[in-house]
Chains A and B, each alone.
Chain A
Amino acid sequence: MFVVSRHLRPERVMLDMEVGGREEAIRALAECLRDAAEVKDFDGFVQDVLRREKQGSTAVGMGVAIPHARTDKVQGFVVAVGRLKEPIKWPSPDNQPVQLLFLMGTSTKIVARYIQIVAHLTRILRHGDFREKLLKAATAEELVHLFLSEERAEK
């Protein structure tokens, strides 16, 4: 299942981001979706993601957070991946600081598909060796290729 790699592009990957906190990280990563065709209202989308984050942390443990919004400001599904230069504090189930971010937005009309993607992403990120590769990827292209390879291996 090419669940994530189908939606991921190098221009939607930011490596070695230098940020001071959760909101700054989300805002900075969102910038690579500013011109995304799927995002109909960029500022509204970012506000919805930040609002969701305030309702409860989207960190899932293992140094990973999945800030997201189900919103009518997005058509279909969109994802951006960010890797922080240094892990930052982010409330999480295992109290680990976060270094990998997956910013996602989805139309309110495709909830089931959205849950499917989150479940898939959470599962493959449990693979420690895969996370290590993501943390070491030298370029955005390499990171995208890692997802493609991981998902191809599961096919």
Chain B
Amino acid sequence: MKLLGMILEGDEHLEDVLAVFAEVGVVDAVVVEAEGLERVLSQIPIFAPLSAMVRGARQRRRLVLGVTDNNAALKEAETLLKDYGLNLRESGGGVLFVIPIEGAVFLAE
């Protein structure tokens, strides 16, 4: 069992990411509105001048999370995202990650 997650910069690929999560077998993904560290720092006066220099400081971010029993979910998701035009290794459009889960109990469908 894995927790598949993605920190996504901007809104452009949100639907694509959710479709990919579904395709790799994620059950009940959630989307969390998030603020990047750069954005938070930019609101602190002493760091504000630096905000223009930091990539993504103005971008809205989303954290997409979901559980899957697909052990290859990370690799499959990366490949499928390329099909939607999101090459994480080149574009820097977000961070895709996976975390092992020791155990999970699901609500019955």
- Which A89-117 residues have a C-beta within 8 angstroms of B? 108-112, 115-116
With an 8 A cutoff between CB atoms, is A123 at the interface?
A: yes
Q: Contact size class for B?
A: 10 to 19
Number of A-B contacts defined by CB within 8 Å: 28
Q: Shortest distance in angstroms between A153's beta carbon and chain B's nearest beta carbon? A: 11
With an 8 A cutoff between CB atoms, is A122 at the interface?
A: yes
Contact B80 A123 (CB under 8 A): yes
Segment at the interface with A among B5-13, B22-30, B41-49, B89-97: B22-30
Q: Shortest distance in angstroms between B7's beta carbon and chain A's nearest beta carbon? A: 21
Question: 1/0 contact trace for A116-133 toward B, CB 8 Å?
Answer: 101110110010000000
Partner of B20, one of A108, A109, A119, A154: A119
Contact B109 A116 (CB under 8 A): no
Chain A residue contacts of B84, Cβ below 8 A = 123
Bound CA–CA A94/B80 (angstroms): 23
Q: Shortest distance in angstroms between B18's beta carbon and chain A's nearest beta carbon? A: 8
Bound CA–CA A110/B76 (angstroms): 21
Q: Please report whether the interface of chain B is mostly helix, strand, loop or mixed according to DSSP.
A: helix
Contact B23 A112 (CB under 8 A): no
Bound CA–CA A19/B20 (angstroms): 34
Q: Shortest distance in angstroms between B21's beta carbon and chain A's nearest beta carbon? A: 8
Chain B residue contacts of A116, Cβ below 8 A = 22-25
Contact B109 A119 (CB under 8 A): no
Contact A109 B109 (CB under 8 A): yes
Bound CA–CA A108/B24 (angstroms): 20
Q: Would you give 12 A-B contacts (Cβ < 8 Å), ordered by A? A: A1-B76, A109-B109, A112-B25, A112-B109, A116-B23, A119-B19, A119-B22, A120-B23, A122-B19, A123-B84, A126-B83, A154-B79
